[in-house]
Structure 1
């Protein structure tokens, strides 16, 4: 018990009394999984089940069994121990954690805390590292009925900041109840941790950072020639609760389990191919009432905020420093990481935030309430600037109604080959998936979303390297409560294939978008559209092969399955499998991005074509090796002839940056992912000329400005001009004063015949600082 207070409830009490969020509009069927359900009968029943039992999985404390790694066991007993004792047996145990902190342990050693004991106002930071096959272990010994040993640090950790707000290399990373810094080969299990002086009083200001387990690489403190790659960490059966700190982003993340890389200088001042973690498993842990995160893995905090921290990639695409393309180009990814079977509730910011990691699997994690004390950008479970990783079989619910991200999932900046599959989200008021850009081969397939009544696919602030695929997801929502399917404007190609859009509202049809032209780069094929009202939205996308029928789910969508635990997530998903008489059977379209199996583990596919939605039925012949003989990538777009395509283009001003890739040639290449930009010192008017090579007749000119997270539309006024051979000068035939923005089709000027077209940018939006940048100029002759 804290002096003058009461001890937080034990792990089992917190887990069993958690309150799940109420539904916003749909009636939630809070159900338990009956034996009949396990036999295949999905029958909802009764009130919500309790949260998963979080008692230690082991039948005995590891410290009660022999040390099989050849090291020495050291015992710590907060009541009967003595720091002047040998510490190598339960009867000669040490008393304080300070004694362990003053000891350099050797490979194979175990640091064993007595079950049921408590250490208040102390922090555990053992020195030394293990080795391959001989890790150092922190665990428990004693009476297995006594409960986990409990370290209650009570906020007694140093600030990681100097007085001027910059990171302090001497103290950064020393903010956990358990701390490891520039150490490796550790296993931590069967302990309880808290780190707060008064959780009921919310900290809103100050330089407080408090972690449960803080593992760091501090690049500034590594001796010359020292290993900068930290290997082998196992964190399991740990209960972390009541970590308090300001619910604001301080350029240092903190949380229940926290792995971070620190460096006070610019990232270019450090070597490549190092400064990362590898071989990490974080599993079977419980987190409750923690700031900012339950799990935060491997965020690199080298200085990347200055004007010079950004970089151009090989194609000329610019990344701000904070987008962390440099993690990829310098191979600073952590790797070979597993995060699974963790439970988190009442998390201040994003529950499971992952970054700068490749070859990561994140599965069977359950998040019950995130962004509970933080109102800015973050999501429930997501990977930032990662690669070659999969998030699957996770359940996230209880998210807030957030204007910014706030969604359970996020296809974040600078991800390469990242897949979200077989995940279940429900009752998240901000929506389903945030979507940023500057990424490649992002895939979200066979996911189930119920009552995520915000924005289903939120944002898109930059173009991507390659198309994104949303395939075979099932979305069940209330159109009267849904904000939009998409709220911004897709900037590059996105494929929606074999998804179910199921609107339960009997009064409002689906609101598909907020901005005109929002879906211009979205390709919809073989999706199912159901409106309970019977009225389809005028915004609904064109999808000739998309059935507009009731899918005929196995279960009632209003009685969706919750409360059964994430380990039974397939039972919840099976509620939305298709009945054998469903019109969506064999109504889908094959594409390699579907993968090889559905949410329920069924092979893809049987019959004449895949099903629409998250579950494949075993009806018809099994197609063992599917072949995509009708690629969605070959779908025709605007079939009009672009008269400006590949025609020579010149500009009165061109930006010299991006390795010379911002030239006017990009305006007529037909690729919306490339762009032209004017030099920083350009003066208006700025002219863009296209030479058709011969007299050409057109009656529409299409213009598109480039935008991303830091680039707004910039043009306020412009003129369209034709070259007059007779006078040897330019003649204006159309002008606008309300800007360009995205997808502006200028018409109404009749038919113009000329050998050259000029777009004269004559004025800038008053609030914009930088010069304009455009992606496309096209010309069409519609004959109208």
Structure 2
């Protein structure tokens, strides 16, 4: 919601506070060490694993020696410059606040090479560890298998660096700096690529705090360059993302104090840099080039994240624009995003994508960015995007853009976009296909060439904007001086003031010089004094949580298992519905020829679980509920009974979520099954909306 007021401009910090609490959080400076630690040296040529390892003359030799050692706070592990090792680097132990464990190089020459092997999916690995800093390594993880969109393909979910938090709550202080990562050949998932942080919670909500990914170069990495992932996403109706992500768990537990900066990502198969389930992430001074060259995605995108700041990044030459392919993408479930001072050019899918399906994406500010020769759809709104403020962006659509749509939208199940406000932007085009204006307001923008004119803009400027040299931007944030204004430009002083505007333009010039200019450049020459135009004040829309659909309680372990049934599944149903965390979908047997006994099995694989309660939820139980069964577990050799002759009588013949529970002695096993002896077969089938298992301690 926006209004005009004569209110005095507030500071940048005030603007960020208005943006749903966005703060420019950066990792805290390290405190003085509280543990001195030991320095260990590793030399693949002259070292010996029988040595003490505590000076260059008594260096260790192998990764195996490093991996077999549990390190202490303050320890350093230094690999010799120019050395190379094959295999996985997985040192054990954790540091402590003020005394991280540090991996680095010693000597002069090229960065030590850690080359991944086929048998290990990740080359550098930390699992449930904290207070680590990893710097100055070269990392690879190649595969001879071709890239495929089949996430179960032979390549596997390969990673250069993989930091995994599995059921450990909050893990602190992981810094990944100045690595050269290349030729990581993973499958098409968000969990494979150059640098992957992964939080997995099924019992314990888990996340990271104090993450720095800085100064890394990532080249030819599949599928992602950098990705921060989590399955702890449950809020506002959020549910499954993709089938390769562990089952969603709640509550929403964000990683905090995340900074991704000064990285260069070249030819990531899908996305360059992406993050989800964070609060206050700062992503700045990165370059992403030629992302999405093997599959659709956006170069820089984020989802299920609050208060993200995305600034000073260059995103260009994305290859695949058939679906996404944009330079930047505010994807589903984002509450408060600030996108500023970025340079987007030559991207196959356009400049900005805004996405909302069934989850809130709300309160987004996009300001003082430059887009040159982006293609397909410069701005694209997908679903019920709410409250976007786009202002002082410079958009240049040259001949190389291929006649894109300047702004478009797609209606999804969540609805259409609304409350999208556009002020002080320049739309300069030598050929475009115009606009779809649903949900948008325009005022004080400049339009030149093409079909960019928005007639409803009451204070539009349509004269030649008189840029210094439009279309001359190259590769590099500093190559866009051509979008500065000549002294007689009609855009000087033609804009409307915006409160809490960040205090600077794309080029670092202070705001304002007289009345505001239109576009990403604020002219600094002599201009008439400000005329006192009342500024636009941005007010974030209130967050309205979506109703939470009925589902299992926290602690349900069944989603960790793979479900199977001995009876065939009805064609309109799915076995996954047994444990998908939703009561709205049911698994059903076929509706003809059902005989008994039948078996439904939960297989937890190599990970045993301890449980003492079974819960089954069924709708229309009098017509299709299970009425008689035994509960069994597998001891590694035989199926043994837990409860036999269980009989249930169902009461409801409607949409009521009727639940029944069975308590039994606490049992630890990797497989459990129902031996079903009878069921109501009013329509020829029996069905279960959700099968749940708990450990009620």
TM over 0.5: yes
Instruction: Provide the rounded CA distance (Å) in 2 between the counterparts of 1:328 and 1:614.
Output: 42
Q: Is the 8 A contact 2:292 2:320 kept in 1?
A: no
Q: Which residue of 463, 470, 478 corresponds with 1:549? A: 463
Q: Does 1:255 find its partner at 2:193?
A: yes
Aligned to 2:217: 286
Q: Does 1:80 align with 2:26?
A: no
Give the CA deviation at 1:631: 5.8
Q: Map of 1:454-465 to 2, 5 A cutoff?
A: 454-464=376-386
Question: Is 1:413–1:436's contact at 8 Å kept on the other side of the alignment?
Answer: yes
Whether contact under 8 Å (2:287, 2:315) holds in the other structure is yes
- Please state whether the residue corresponding to 1:557 is helix, strand or coil: coil
1:91 counterpart SS class: helix
What whole-Å deviation, never above 9, does each CA across 1:625-667 have from its counterpart, x for those lacking one?
x98456699xxxxxxxxxxxxxxxxxxxxx99879xxxxxxxx
Do 2:499 and 2:537's aligned partners in 1 also have CA atoms closer than 8 Å? no
What displacement does 1:491 show?
2.1
Shift in alpha-carbon separation, 1:128–1:461, aligned structure 2, 3 A: same
Change over 3 Å in CA distance of 1:382–1:593 after alignment to 2: farther
Of residues 593, 598, 601, the one that matches 2:508 is 601
Q: 2:499·2:536 contact (CA, 8 Å) conserved in 1? A: no
Residue in 2 that maps onto 1:125 = 90
Whether 1:503 and 2:417 are equivalent positions in the alignment is no
Deviation of 1:460 (Å): 1.8
1:257: how far off?
Answer: 1.2
Q: CA deviation at 1:451?
A: 0.4
Partner residue, 2:402: 481
Q: Is 1:472 paired with 2:430?
A: no
Shift of 1:320: 4.3
Please give the secondary structure, in 2, of the residue aligned with 1:100. helix
CA shift in 2, pair 1:590/1:329, >3 Å: farther
Q: Deviation per CA, 1:380-419, whole angstroms, max 9, x where unpaired?
A: 1122111122111111111124221110101111112211
1:91 paired to 2:57: yes
Q: Within 5 A, what are the aligned runs for 1:202-213?
A: 202=147, 205-206=153-154, 208-213=156-161
| Equivalent pair of 2:220/2:269 in contact (CA under 8 Å) | yes
Which residue is equivalent to 1:108?
74
Maintained 8 Å contact 1:81/1:94: yes
Q: Is the 1:471–1:594 Cα contact (8 Å) retained in structure 2?
A: no
- For residue 521 of structure 1, report the CA deviation from its aligned partner: 1.2
Distance in 1 (CA, whole Å) between partners of 2:373 and 2:335 is 29
DSSP-derived class of the 2:310 partner: strand
Distance 1:536 1:580, change over 3 A: same
**Distance apart, 1:321 and its partner CA:** 4.3
Give CA-to-partner distance per residue, 1:654-688, whole Å, 9 cap, x none: x99879xxxxxxxxxxxxxxxxxxx99xxxxxxxx
SS in 2 for 1:98: helix
Q: 1:370 to 1:68 in 2, by over 3 A?
A: same
- CA 1:69–1:244: 2 relative to 1, 3 Å: same
What secondary structure is seen at the aligned counterpart in 1 of 2:480? helix
Q: Where does residue 492 of structure 1 map in the other structure?
A: 418
Q: CA deviation at 1:493?
A: 1.2
Task: Identify the match of residue 175 of structure 2 among 219, 234, 252.
Answer: 234
Q: Secondary structure at the match of 1:373?
A: coil
Give the Cα–Cα distance (whole angstroms) in 2 for the partners of residues 103 and 245 of structure 1: 28
Three-state SS of the structure 1 residue aligned to 2:241 is helix
What SS does structure 2 have at the residue aligned with 1:441? strand
Shift of 1:80: 1.5
Deviations 1:411-443 (A, max 9, x none): 111112211100001111211111113222101
2:662 is matched with none
Partner SS, residue 471 of structure 2? helix
The CA deviation at 1:133 is 1.0
Cα distance change of structure 1 residues 592 and 69 upon mapping to structure 2, 3 Å threshold:
same
Q: Name the structure with the higher strand share.
A: 2
Query: Which of the numbers 193, 197, 212 marks the counterpart of 2:143?
Result: 197
With over 3 angstroms needed to count, the CA separation of the structure-2 counterparts of 1:112 and 1:255, relative to structure 1, is same
Going from structure 1 to structure 2, the CA distance change for 1:238 and 1:595 (only over 3 Å counts) comes to same
* Structure 2 match to 1:148: 111
- The one of 163, 166, 172 aligned to 1:218: 166
Distance 2:349 2:53 in 1: 53
Q: Which residue of 1 aligns with 2:343?
A: 424
> In the aligned structure 1, how far is the partner of 2:281 from the partner of 2:547?
39
Residue of structure 2 equivalent to 1:181: 127
Per the alignment, do residues 68 and 579 of structure 1 end up closer, same or farther by CA in structure 2, a change over 3 Å counting? farther
The whole-number CA distance in structure 2 between the counterparts of 1:631 and 1:253 is 40
CA deviations on 1:693-728 (whole Å, 9 max, x unpaired) are xxxxxxxxxxxxxxxxxxxxxxxxxxxxxxxxxxxx
User: For residues 623 and 547 of structure 1, what CA distance do their matches in structure 2 show?
Assistant: 18
CA contact (8 A) 2:301 2:328 kept: yes
CA distance in 2, matches of 1:501, 1:542: 15
Deviations 1:70-105 (A, max 9, x none): 110111111111112111111111111011111100
SS at match of 2:383: coil
Q: 1:208, 1:328 → 2: CA distance?
A: 24
**Counterpart Cα distance in 1 of 2:249 and 2:437:** 30
Three-state SS of the structure 2 residue aligned to 1:460 is strand
Between Structure 1 and Structure 2, how many residues are aligned?
499
Give 1:294-333 correspondences, 5 Å limit. 294-297=225-228, 299-301=229-231, 313=236, 318-322=237-241, 330-333=251-254
Q: Compared with structure 1, are the counterparts of its residues 281 and 502 closer, same or farther at alpha carbon in structure 2 (3 Å cutoff)? A: same
Retained in 1: the 8 A contact 2:44–2:85?
Answer: yes
1:558 counterpart = 2:471 = yes
Q: 1:451 aligns with which of 359, 370, 373?
A: 373
Q: 1:622 to 1:548 in 2, by over 3 A?
A: closer
| Counterpart in the other structure of 1:359 | 280
* Displacement of 1:254: 1.7
How many Å separate the matches in 1 of 2:279 and 2:548?
A: 30
CA distance in 1, matches of 2:503, 2:250: 31
Distance 1:243 1:596, change over 3 A: same
Separation in 2 of the partners of 1:386 and 1:156? 34
Structure 1 distance, partners of 2:102, 2:451, is 60
Runs of at least 5 residues in structure 2 that lack an aligned partner in the other structure = 1-32, 411-415, 540-545, 551-583, 586-697
Alpha-carbon RMSD: 3.0
C-alpha distance in 1 between matches for 2:269 and 2:547 = 44
Once the two structures are TM-superposed, the CA of residue 622 in structure 1 deviates from its matched residue by: 7.4
**Conservation of the 8 A alpha-carbon contact between 1:455 and 1:482:** no
- The answer to whether the Cα contact below 8 Å between 1:105 and 1:129 also exists between their aligned partners in 2 is yes
Secondary structure, in 3 states, of the residue corresponding to 1:592?
Answer: coil
The corresponding residue for 1:371 is 292
- Deviation at 1:355? 1.3
Q: Are 2:433 and 2:451, in contact at CA under 8 Å, matched by a contact in 1?
A: no
Counterparts in 2 of 1:75 and 1:511: CA distance versus 1, 3 Å: same
Change (3 A) 1:218 1:494: same
Question: RCO greater where, 1 or 2, for CA within 8 Å and sep 6 or more?
Answer: 2
TM superposition score normalised by structure 2: 0.67
Structure 2 CA distance for partners of 1:628 and 1:68, relative to 1, 3 Å: same
Q: Counterparts of 1:545 and 1:262 in 2: how far apart (Å)?
A: 51
